[in-house]
Chains A and B, each alone.
Chain A
Amino acid sequence: MSLAEPSLPSGTTETVTPRRAVAPLRRLQEMPARQRAFVYAIGAILLLSLTRVLSDAHQLTSPGTSGAALRLAVPLGMAALGGVFSERAGVVNIGLEGMMILGTWFGAWGAWQFGPWQGIALGILGGAIGGLIHAIATVSFGVDQIISGVAINILGLGVARYLSVITYTAGTGGGATQSPQITQKISTVNLPFFAGGELLGWKSPNILGWLDRQDWFFVSDVGGLLQGLTSNLSLVTVLAMVLFPASTWLLWKTRFGLRLRSVGENPTAAESLGIAVYRVKYVAVVISGAFAGLGGAYLSLVASNIYREGQTNGRGFIGLAAMIFGNWKPYGAAVGSGLFGFADALQLRNAKAVHALLLLVAMVALVFAIKALLEGRLRQGLFSLLAAIVFGLWYLTSEEVPSQFTSFTPHVVTLLVLAFATQRLRPPAKVGEPYRRGEAH
């Protein structure tokens, strides 16, 4: 079963050739990817500050919100990175959720037994074991990858429940559905100069915090957002942030990465070049599980201080969504996770800010509409315009958004991305297809 549809969907007459665009847009299109991302980021923050001013929802760009967004984004990001590794090697990993559950349980248990860092290590190990099972089933036995993933989700849930019952018995402070409180925390740091971090015992100035307090349009918003991303960082958060560039480097600049991706694109050719396809797939899927496990351990040890049943709450699936949003690339996955984490953070912190999000969505849709119309994509432009009007009206006529709605924002966004940007997404060519060694002729 392949996740990539081989043929273009019938019934659509769109062509893939680039359209004529007006001058500024063309300049944007021709920019290097890194510069373009910078322009987009500036544009996004501009819209965000505009929304803040218009809706008077100061929480939108406060350091508290961006800090919470980061803490909520890290588990998603780890699951998404796990997805990137596995799917780049051609193995669909629906089992991320189950591996993450194993990570939450083993993380909390390890921290309770030995200490917080040992907990993180055991969480990673727990997820990796889940990955190993997935690899055995899908690589060695060629079982349908989605079925194996579903089974691992059931298994992860069952194992975590069972182990809770037998380890967190009476007197430990835990129980059948939760672990004891983990008292020891992993230490946090502030970035020196920018967020007032300590440097060899000297307390450096907090530039971003000062900016945040000035209440200047845009500048203070940037200050507030960045301060949240640079202060009170758990060391695990720093580690997680480093893992994105590290993964990009590993996958695109090393021999191992080239092999891993070649196995996902064309295993037959890879094998004919002497690559041990099974071994590469095994390593990739185990790494994938380890990432999911790290995300899980982060949930129980950094984002909270306890293991609870249902703690992952579908985050493995959201991670999968973030990976698709990010076009099977680490940085894209990071942007997706950040976006979904941001929506989640607003929901937790402030109902007014969630309401302001409607205005933001309306403005983003408007920008999309203008861009699409300028580029000559009439249908998409009109649809975006309609969306902008609907969200604008919703914002103007309502007082608040039901909190349950924000819980599935990531999923709606993913469906929209899949519906309207499928031509831009490029999954690995052979993802989802079982491969048997030596069968190619």
Chain B
Amino acid sequence: MSDSATAPAGDEQDLLAAEYVFGLLCADERSVVERDAARDPALAAAIAAWERWLLPLTRLVPPIPPPAALWPRIEASLAAAAREQPAAAPPPPTQPPPAPPPAPPVARPVRRWQVAAAAGYALAASLAAFAWLRPPPPPPVATALAPLPAHSPVFVAELLPHGGLLVRPSGAVHVPTGRDLQLWLLAAGATRPVSLGVLPPAGVRLPPGSLPPDASGAKILVSLEPRGGSPTGLPTGPVIGGGSL
């Protein structure tokens, strides 16, 4: 990552954005930049500027026809994700597209297929290239681990008198096949959460000592991860709920 010895402070953000776009950062550093940029419009704009400036360089690489099997594979992945989506699930709230679609009216099953693709494929680069996107709606702040989408699990976290933490469901919990929920602690002022382990749908009781002595102002977050939990030590899937202690 950049040091500040040779560049004015105003350049540091642009340098960080450039290092991110070029791919000079390690995986952990990339995750930090993505999280920061999701909250910092100036950093996101700097990343977007580099992406656009450098686009012509990508055209120097000759195109190669992809394998014929690739498109059927993409179609199959989306169809498989659609089958995993519960039939009763309504489409999530989405913003309208920027221009009226000239295609025929959208059939609801198609939209559900699209939504299921989102649920079934939480990609590692889920925040990547966010600078071109509208920001998602802000998450609610609550002591409970409040859900973002309507069908996310709902949990309540309680600090126990002896110092432990009880996290229990307050409603029906559905975890997609092949996925696990994971619990995280984000200390006040920290930028990187610490894992508190996989969160079973039935809840979990963490023993004393699982939290730092002074957890006031910390946030408890729940993310959707691959089976067994995040492979990176940081959230890789969407954060589906959270609240402050």
**Do A and B assemble together?**
no
Residues on A close to B: CB < 8 A?
none
Residue positions of B touching A, CB distance < 8 A: none
